């Protein structure tokens, strides 16, 4: 079957069941692994469908899944070389195999280089098609599963999983490419090409990702979060940062145009050149779910932490001994609390104009560290090094309990700031299944 027949099959599937249709919006839960600080999502894969835990990676081009261990499915198909599907995957190799035929062993098969973004390792493996399913949703509850019968991904060997959270068997790619999870959902469901994340930091209550909707996004007890989004253009970095480089191909990662960083409304003095993407792909501000805490190139980090310490001192907060990997910490007993976390200076990432800024309150700027003889709040930003390729990399912690919308269709990024203000949190999505929701 070709990719075109995939489209046709899902269309027929769609039209034959419109009686039940509300909207073809899908969702997955997103959990945080407490030991690696990685965000993972669970999808259903193969035939019969099995829950499959994958690392969430905003920057990756295509999904990959371990095919070496326990791959049993009635519906997998290799992708032959010299097919249009193989060509559109930009496959750089065609492989043969002399072992027993299986998902990871076929002749004349389209091969890719899946990458592990944590260890930055890559290894050649077969591309494959198989069934993938996610829950439908009305924005309020999950519904029945919707199946994408010919989901395209890459196999990987078990060793590529090294460095990833326990139980993870692959990677869910959310990058700009036409074969990311979000792109294939949009094609199969005829929905707009966008997805929305609400990351939860709670080890027990997951956050959520929505696919193919610009809202409404309902959270308990009574919040609808689409109205709180502010938008800024999504920018394209002309040079990719993958382990295996594909010359002439832009990056599939998401960049936004941060022009200034303010602390308590005062601009931090920094080298603005580092905030622009140059023709070699250096500089700029990227968004990443693989980086746990926002990193800043050394000179930006130094200026930012100095400005933050100065503003904190003005309200009688004095810095105490730092706790790695952080540099600016305060005794917890000195810090009072608010609905949006510890009361500390507010940080704004300012975009194209003064009134477009992403406000970061204490709940997202400060990390509590409690040890045997310490209890401190530390500024949760990390020095990215003097040779950092990217000026600022906005990490997962700064996105928790914020709604963020990656809209490829409208080429814009929407952000809500802390939803704690609205008396809810990303852990407050109602995951009780409502079987009336289907497509």
Ligand X SMILES: *[C@@H]1O[C@H](CO)[C@@H](O)[C@H](O)[C@H]1NC(C)=O
Measured between alpha carbons, how far is 217 from 25 in angstroms, rounded to an integer? 11
- When the beta carbons of 242 and 289 are compared against ligand X, the nearer one is 242
Q: Is 434 in the site for ligand X (CB under 6 A)?
A: yes
* Torsion, CA 132, CA 135, CA 139, CA 141, rounded to 10: -160
Q: How far is the CB of 16 from ligand X (least distance, A)?
A: 26
Q: Cis link prior to 74 (omega < 30° from 0)?
A: no
Residue 393, both tokens? 């990399």
Q: Which one of the spans 26-34, 155-163, 333-341, 429-437 is the region binding ligand X (CB under 6 A)?
A: 429-437
Q: Which one of the spans 66-74, 105-113, 234-242, 416-424 is the region binding ligand X (CB under 6 A)?
A: 105-113
Q: Which one of the spans 11-19, 358-366, 411-419, 426-434 is the region binding ligand X (CB under 6 A)?
A: 426-434
Binders of ligand X among 211-230, rule CB under 6 A?
220
Q: Is 273 in the site for ligand X (CB under 6 A)?
A: yes
Q: How far is the CB of 182 from ligand X (least distance, A)?
A: 13
Q: Is 316 in the site for ligand X (CB under 6 A)?
A: yes
Q: Is 259 in the site for ligand X (CB under 6 A)?
A: no
- When the beta carbons of 12 and 220 are compared against ligand X, the nearer one is 220
Q: How far is the CB of 62 from ligand X (least distance, A)?
A: 6
Q: How many residues bind ligand X (CB under 6 A)?
A: 25
- Bridge partners of 111, per DSSP, are 93, 126
Q: Which of 17, 70, 75, 107 binds ligand X (CB under 6 A)?
A: 107
Q: How far is the CB of 429 from ligand X (least distance, A)?
A: 10
Whole-number Cα distances in Å, 161 to 73, 78, 115, 411: 20, 22, 10, 32
Q: Which of 55, 65, 106, 160 binds ligand X (CB under 6 A)?
A: 106
Q: Which of 7, 49, 97, 421 binds ligand X (CB under 6 A)?
A: 97
Q: Cis link prior to 325 (omega < 30° from 0)?
A: yes
Binders of ligand X among 170-209, rule CB under 6 A?
177-179
Q: Is 320 in the site for ligand X (CB under 6 A)?
A: no
Which of 417, 423, 421, 424 lies closest to 365 in space, CA to CA?
417
CB 377 within 8 A of CB 332: yes
Q: Is 16 in the site for ligand X (CB under 6 A)?
A: no
Q: How far is the CB of 57 from ligand X (least distance, A)?
A: 14
Give the 3-state secondary structure of residue 191: coil
Sign of the torsion angle spanned by Cα atoms 162, 163, 164, 167: positive
- Provide the b/e sequence for 97-136 (b: ≥16 CB within 10 Å): eeeeebbbbbeebbbbbbbbbbeeebbbbbbbbbbbbbbb
Give the contact letters, 229-248, x = binds to ligand X (CB under 6 A), - = no: -------------------x
- When the beta carbons of 97 and 438 are compared against ligand X, the nearer one is 97
- When the beta carbons of 119 and 273 are compared against ligand X, the nearer one is 273
Q: Which of 249, 259, 264, 331 binds ligand X (CB under 6 A)?
A: 249
Q: How far is the CB of 272 from ligand X (least distance, A)?
A: 8
Q: Cis link prior to 163 (omega < 30° from 0)?
A: no
Measured between alpha carbons, how far is 275 from 55 in angstroms, rounded to an integer? 28
Q: How far is the CB of 305 from ligand X (least distance, A)?
A: 18
Binders of ligand X among 352-381, rule CB under 6 A?
none
Q: How far is the CB of 242 from ligand X (least distance, A)?
A: 10
Q: How far is the CB of 331 from ligand X (least distance, A)?
A: 15
Q: Checking DSSP bridges between strand 170-173 and strand 39-45, what pairing results, if any?
A: unpaired
Give the 3-state secondary structure of residue 14: helix
Q: Which of 26, 89, 256, 382 binds ligand X (CB under 6 A)?
A: 89
Q: Is 105 in the site for ligand X (CB under 6 A)?
A: yes
Q: Which of 268, 274, 366, 379 binds ligand X (CB under 6 A)?
A: 274
Q: How many CA atoms lie within 13 A of 94 on its CB side?
A: 8
Q: How far is CA 71 from the centre of its chain?
A: 26
Spatial neighbors of 219 by CB under 8 A, at least 6 apart, are: 198, 225, 419, 424, 425, 426, 428, 429, 430
Q: How many CA atoms lie within 13 A of 399 on its CB side?
A: 31
Q: How far is CA 425 from the centre of its chain?
A: 18
Number of residues that this document lists for the chain: 439
- When the beta carbons of 165 and 270 are compared against ligand X, the nearer one is 270
Residues near ligand X (CB under 6 A): 61, 89-90, 96-98, 101, 105-107, 141, 177-179, 220, 248-249, 271, 273-274, 315-316, 430, 432, 434
């Amino acid at each position: 079957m070709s990719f075109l027949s995939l489209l046709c099959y899902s269309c027929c599937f769609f039209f034959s069941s419109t009686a039940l249709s509300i909207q073809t919006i899908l969702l997955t839960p997103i959990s945080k692994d407490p030991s690696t600080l990685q965000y993972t999502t669970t999808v259903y894969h193969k035939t019969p469908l099995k829950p499959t835990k994958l690392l969430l990676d905003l920057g990756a081009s295509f999904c990959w899944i371990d095919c070496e261990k326990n791959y049993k499915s009635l519906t997998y198909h290799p992708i032959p070389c010299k097919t249009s599907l193989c060509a559109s995957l930009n496959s750089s190799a065609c492989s043969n195999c002399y072992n027993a035929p299986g998902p990871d062993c076929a002749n004349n098969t389209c091969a890719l280089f899946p990458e592990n973004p944590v260890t930055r390792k890559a290894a050649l493996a077969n591309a494959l098609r198989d069934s993938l399913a996610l829950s439908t949703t009305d924005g309020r509850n999950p519904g029945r599963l919707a199946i994408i019968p010919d989901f395209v991904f890459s196999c990987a060997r078990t060793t590529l999983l090294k460095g990833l959270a326990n139980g993870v068997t692959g990677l869910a790619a959310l990058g700009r490419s036409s074969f990311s999870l979000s792109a294939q959902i949009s094609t199969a469901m005829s929905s707009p090409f966008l997805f929305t994340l609400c990351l939860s930091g709670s080890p027990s209550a997951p956050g959520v990702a929505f696919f193919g909707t610009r809202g409404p996004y309902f959270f308990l007890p009574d919040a609808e979060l689409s109205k709180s989004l502010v938008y800024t253009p999504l920018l394209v970095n002309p040079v990719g940062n993958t382990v295996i480089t594909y010359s002439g191909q832009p990056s599939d990662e998401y960049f936004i145009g941060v022009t200034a960083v303010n602390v308590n409304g005062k601009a931090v003095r920094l080298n603005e050149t580092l905030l622009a993407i140059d023709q070699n792909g250096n500089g700029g501000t990227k968004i990443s779910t693989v980086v746990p805490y926002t990193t800043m190139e050394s000179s930006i980090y130094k200026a930012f932490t100095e400005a933050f310490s100065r503003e904190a001192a003005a309200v009688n907060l004095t810095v105490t001994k730092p706790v790695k990997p952080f540099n600016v910490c305060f005794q917890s007993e000195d810090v009072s609390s608010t609905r949006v976390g510890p009361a500390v200076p507010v940080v704004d990432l300012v975009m194209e104009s003064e009134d477009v800024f992403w406000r970061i309150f204490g709940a997202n700027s400060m990390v509590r560290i409690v040890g045997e003889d310490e209890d401190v709040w530390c500024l949760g930003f990390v020095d990215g090094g003097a040779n950092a390729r990217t000026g600022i990399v906005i990490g997962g912690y700064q996105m928790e309990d914020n709604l963020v919308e990656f809209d490829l269709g409208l080429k814009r990024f929407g952000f809500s700031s802390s939803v704690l203000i609205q008396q809810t949190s990303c852990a407050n999505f109602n995951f009780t299944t409502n079987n009336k929701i289907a497509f």
